[in-house]
Every structure is written in structure tokens, then in C-alpha cells.
Structure 1
Amino acid sequence: MQCPLPEPQLRLLRGQLEAIVLQSNEVQTEQSLLQKLGLHLTSAPSDPQLALFQRHFIVQHLLYQLQLQWAEQQFAWLEIGLAKVQLHTYQAQQPTEYDQGRAGYYLDWQHFYQMSSATLEQQLDDFWRYVQRPAEADPLSLQQACQVLQLSWPCSLLQLKRQYRSLALQYHPDRGGDGEQFLQVRQAYQRLRTEFR
């Protein structure tokens, strides 16, 4: 599948990204890279989470292209984490199986086009279920969950989803928000979702 951006624009973004990464020896967050690149899609979807995913996908695609190029040239090793990137001196490193899987995903434009709002929501649900802390033996009560999400009960599933998206975007750590507050919002959302099953 083809890139969603014209080739000249993609080359320009890649050059800008390369310059940003090479000019800093510090860890770069994906959010800071997105801000420095000023990446905005002209045909972005109306769902803000899907639009954020598309921007994220393009940056990850370019980062993995740079990682492959620099490894082949034995120039440097670009460590690409979930939300951060760091440049290291080259040392004949082999990417882990996990990293190879992520590279394969982000280097294939088919994954960009196949993502829908519903699929993204399910993947985010699965991810947060996976990373949720097991130490939390006390689930939130209905009232506590409503307070966290600033909702009155009863509410509709549509109201719940809209409020969750709004607060998740506000508190998301990649957007400069509070990680603890983001987790609370996520847990409250999951608690209230159980009321609609």
C-alpha cells in the first residue's frame, strides 16, 4: 500500500526527523517529535484518537526507516520505545523480536489504512487491561468512577465515550498530561463500561 502523504512531503518529514534526532543526545518523546515536526494531516479523520494514531503511525514509520538505514550503514542504533526515542552509538546490535515485530507493523502502510475508530478503541482497551496494575484490589465504585469522569449517573454510552476521550486526550502523558490522572480516567471508564454490558 502507498503512503498517505506525497513522496516529497514524506522525504521532507524524514529529513526533519533525522535532523531532530541527530541534534539531541537526550531521550526524545514521541509527543515532542510530533510538535517539532508540526505534522498535521490534511485529510485527518474526525475521531481525535484515530487522527492521533495516524500521526503516530507516520512518525513510527519514519523512525523505523531511519533505524534500518543507520544499522545498515553501521552509523548508529536508534532505540525506539513505546513513546520515546534515543540515539546510541553503533554497536552491531540486533533488534529484539519485539522490536522487529513493531518495525514490521509500522513499515507496512496497510496497517495505517486498516485502522478504524472501533478497532483502535478495542486495541486501547486490550492494552490498558494488559498494563493495569494488579495491586489495585479495590475497584472503583460507580460513584467514584462518575466523579473521576465528571459525569452524572445515569448517562448514555455515547456520553461516557465522549467524556472519556476528552479527558484521555487532556491527561495523556504523550501530550504533556498527568500519567496518574490518565490512569484514573482509564480505570473509571472501564468501570462504567461494565454498566453497559
Structure 2
Amino acid sequence: MPDNPLLAPIARLLHAHPEGLSEYALMKQLEFDGLHLDQDADASPELLLFRKHFLIMNALYRLRPVLAEEGFEISISALHIQLHPLDSFHHSTETAIIPDDQPLRDYYLDWSEFEKSSSDYVRALLDGFWQRYMSSDQRGEALAVLGLQERASTEQIRIAYRRLAARHHPDRGGDADQFRRVREAYELLMV
């Protein structure tokens, strides 16, 4: 694995900010300290940001075992990165809310993910994210139309659809627009 130039600067910044900092603040501090992470002038802004993010996350996950030998654990999220003394970290209530991040760790430690990054690759990642985001948003709206909670089963969706479709069917004097919304919600949820 190639040497990540951010290992030492990030370790220094984490020790200098015991209160922790966000990934954005970390990125800005690295740039302020003179580390230019956007070396490729031909890369799109999205690709440059992806590469900066990847380098930071790769460095954080590579620093975990090094800092553990020094008696520290790193909690890692985009919104808050912080060093904790190992004793207080493992005995605090925070450990109960920190999810297992093995899939993320594996991704960011796989240098081939960085090497294969291109503007098209990053665009596809972003498109996939927005499609998942929009579909989850649409799913919530569809569930609301049917009067259901987030964890509704397929059978509950069918029952709610049949009940509302019967109530709003235009042939039975119901509202055609509401019937259409109920049908569209059902179709979206059953995909």
C-alpha cells in the first residue's frame, strides 16, 4: 500500500484538538498547514473532493492501530473525529452508540478504491447515493399516503392499499386524485 502523506499531520492535528473536529475542519486545517491535496488539475471538483476524503479516511483507519499502541482510540465519523484514551473510551457509554465500521474500514484501507477513482466513478457513486436517498424519501412519502409506519410489512401494505383503494375509487364516488396517489404509493412500495 502506498504511503499516505496525511498520517503524521492527521495524528498531530488529532492530538492538538482533544475536543475533536469534523472531517471538513480537518481537511481545511490540513490545507491551511500547506498540504495541497488537489494535485490533479484535470480532475473534476467531485473527484478532487472524493480523493481528499479518501486520503483522510484511509489515514484515520491506518492510524487506529498505531494510536492504540500509544493508548488512544479514534472515533471516526464525517461529523466528528476524536481521540479518546483507551481506558475511558472502552468504559464510556459512547462505545454503545459507535457502530461496527468494518465495511467502511475495509473500503478505505483498500488502496485500489483510490486508484480506480475517476470522474465517472465518482459521478456513479454520487448518482447511486442520490437515487438511494430519493427512493428512501419517496418510500417515506408512499408509506404516509397509505397511513403506514416505516417498518410496515408487505402484507400490511397490501391491506392498507386495498382499504384505501376501495374508499377512494372513482367508480364508488371517491376522489380520483387520491385514488391515483394511493395506487402510485402502492406500486412504489411493491417494487
Q: Which runs of 5+ in 2 are unaligned?
A: 143-191
Tell whether 2:61 aligns with 1:68: no
CA distance in 2 between counterparts of 1:136 and 1:30 reads 32
Whether the 8 Å contact between 1:61 and 1:106 is mirrored in structure 2 is: yes
The one-letter amino acid of 1:62's match is A
Corresponding residue of 2:73: 77
Matches within 5 A, 1:7-26: 7=3, 10=5, 13-26=6-19
Tell whether 2:98 aligns with 1:118: no
Corresponding residue of 2:156: none
Q: 1:89 Cα shift?
A: 2.2
Q: 1:136 Cα shift?
A: 5.4
The one-letter amino acid of 2:109's match is L
The alignment's C-alpha RMSD in Å is 2.7
Quote the sequence identity (%). 28
Note the alpha carbon deviations across 1:28-66, whole angstroms, 9 max, x for none.
111111111113232354211001111111111111111
The number of residues matched between the two structures is 128
Corresponding residue of 2:29: 36
Which structure: larger Rg?
Answer: 2
TM-score, scaled to structure 2: 0.57
Corresponding residue of 1:188: none
Q: Secondary structure at the match of 1:84?
A: coil
Flag the 1:26–1:128 CA change in 2: closer, same or farther, 3 A. Answer: farther
Q: Which runs of 5+ in 1 are unaligned?
A: 138-197
CA distance in 2 between counterparts of 1:18 and 1:103 reads 17
Moved over 2 A (4+): 39-46, 91-97, 128-137
Corresponding residue of 2:56: 59
CA distance in 1 between counterparts of 2:66 and 2:113 reads 22
Q: Secondary structure at the match of 1:70?
A: helix
Corresponding residue of 2:155: none
Matches within 5 A, 1:31-180: 31-38=24-31, 39-71=36-68, 73=69, 75-91=71-87, 96-97=99-100, 99-132=101-134, 133-134=137-138, 135=140
TM-score, scaled to structure 1: 0.55
